[in-house]
Structure 1
Amino acid sequence: MVNKFIVVILLFFSSVSFAKEVSDEYLSQLVDGWNLLAPSELYDFIPENIDYKTMNSPEFQKKIDNAGNQINSLMDGKVIEIAGFMVPLKTKGSSVTQFLLVPEAGQCIHVPPPPLNQTLLVEMPENPTNIRDIYIPIIVTGKVSVGSQSFDIADSGYSLTDVTVENLTFKYEDDL
């Protein structure tokens, strides 16, 4: 469910010029990075043809919230490359030293924020990057540390250090 939405959002913003051009196959790998943080088995309890009453029941919503708080401890120390959107936390002029990476554009500016397992704290104190608009897709590569942290706008289940940040664009075939 999250994957389809991410692809649609990333395609929507592909008309803007960015630094790194990606193919559809490469984009799939970037999107799959979010699955590593929140394995799909966490949501296996959701029926295929869920009805409105079940979906909005307090019990079902509690299960959804609990699944979103599960983090994958096996990710600790791994280097990942993942596409998402920047939500700046700490800035220096036009640069950012700390931000949240989220899978969908505009998250954290509305309630509720994304789940803990879909929010990464990115720290770049020694090597800040330019601030991006929250609707501009980026690719972040870094080393994962597992552990939750709380901020006013959202909670994070992971941190990324030793980070590189690139803007994202799409490679189009000439015959499209």
Structure 2
Amino acid sequence: MNPLVTPNLGLLIWQAITFLIVLFLLSKFAWKPIMAALREREQSIDSALQMAEKAKLEMQSLKADNERLLNEARVERERILKEATETANSLVEGARAKANEEGQRMIENAREAIGHEKQAALTEVKNLAATLSINIAEKLLNRELQDEQAQRALVQSYLQDANLS
């Protein structure tokens, strides 16, 4: 048979001794540092996972806070817009009422001024008519009373009118 398939007893013993020596050396010098490195690696992985979980929780908390702040900002914006609209409407209504009041006051003042001007114009027309009447009467009297006979006739006519009344 082939020596590779069925090993020799001496070869088997030497291989076992070599294996035990390597195992002893590895356990004495390499096993502890390898295990320490593996434990350290495991701890760093656990630490990284814990930090990732903590970061995830913080992100969820920040996201919730962000949503809450956004909702509060929306509510505040709506409130401010509503107040601004109400204020603008009240200002417009106030201005409209004041303009109407001012317009009515101006109309009343204009009516009064027109009434005063009308009265002044009527008075002026009456005075002018009276002055014109007096001037016309004076001119007529001057023309009629230029001679003495006309004067006597005028006095007679006034006397007759006075007796009839």
User: When the two structures are superposed, what TM-score results if normalisation uses the length of structure 2?
Assistant: 0.16
Greater fraction of residues in helix: 2
* Larger Rg, first or second structure (1 or 2): 2
Name the one with the larger strand percent.
Answer: 1
**Higher relative contact order by CA 8 Å / sep ≥ 6: 1 or 2?**
1
TM-score using structure 1 length: 0.15
